[in-house]
Amino acid sequence: MRKVFSILDKIIPKAFQIIALWFGGLCIIVLTIGTAWEVIARYLFNAPTSWSIELTEHLMAILTFLSGAFVLVLDAHVRADAFYRKFTGKTKASVDIFIYFICIIYLGTLTWQSSLYSRHLLATWARSSGGVMLPLFPAQFTATLGAFFTCVECLRKMVHSIMALREE
């Protein structure tokens, strides 16, 4: 079991890094180009685009949700350290197990409900109300995928905390 976990422990963070950097990088490039074009079109040519804000909203949703697991891999998420930094050893591992357990319940529920909503958006082929009328499914599906990936990372970190608790 430890061998399988050791292999997964190397693969999962690397996969989340690739997803976050490639998709995140692509989203940032498209966001930059779209926003720059909107500024140029609006202020130099007095011809604002009908698609820029809508595209930005969809790409920000994708960027936000797909980066969650990678932020957790890096331990770069926001944590209330007032009490947590004082914990050591078994206490810290126990608190981590509790925190990750709560996160897994929340993210599991979010994944489940978000997948139901994503399926509904795909079945009805719902579109945004903006000028471009982009399909809502891709942005919503990334919320589902991001919640699932973050749940997997919480589970991985919880296993680390359980192993740390057992070793002490």
For 131-146, what is the mean pLDDT? 89
For 59-69, what is the mean pLDDT? 88
Q: Is the pLDDT of residue 3 over 90?
A: no
Residues 8 and 12: their CA atoms lie apart, in Å, by: 6
Alpha helices in the chain (DSSP H): 2-43, 52-73, 81-84, 89-124, 137-167
Mean of per-residue pLDDT scores for the chain: 88
Q: Is the pTM of this model over 0.75?
A: yes
Separation in Å, CA 63 to CA 139, 148, 151: 9, 15, 17
Residue 16: alpha-carbon gap to chain centroid: 10
Residues 95 and 87: their CA atoms lie apart, in Å, by: 9
